[in-house]
């Protein structure tokens, strides 16, 4: 199971929470609450990893202090 730093912040422009996964380029999600943004990020991480494996590319090692499971 992979663990990746996930940064969650409020986007006033979108009126939602954004969850970014800096260790996986382009991997982000959003939700109406922090919890839903985190849940969506977990799904996005799994999809990001599955797609990367499909193409035979390498998956970056998890780094950071705030960790979550994919």
Note whether 38 and 28 are within 8 A (CB).
no
Give me the mean pLDDT over the 41-61 stretch: 96
pTM of the model: 0.85
Q: What is the pLDDT of residues 6-45, one digit of tens each?
A: 999 999 999 999 999 999 999 999 999 999 999 999 999 9
Element (H, E) at 43: helix 34-54
Structural domains in the chain, CATH included, are: 1-70 (3.30.160.250)
């Amino acid at each position: 199971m992979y663990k990746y730093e996930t940064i969650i912040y409020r986007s006033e422009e979108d009126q939602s929470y954004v969850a970014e996964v800096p260790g996986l380029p382009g991997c982000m999600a959003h939700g109406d609450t922090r919890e839903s943004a985190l849940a969506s990020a977990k799904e996005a991480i799994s999809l990001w990893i599955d797609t990367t494996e499909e193409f035979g590319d390498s998956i970056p090692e998890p780094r950071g202090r705030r960790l979550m499971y994919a």
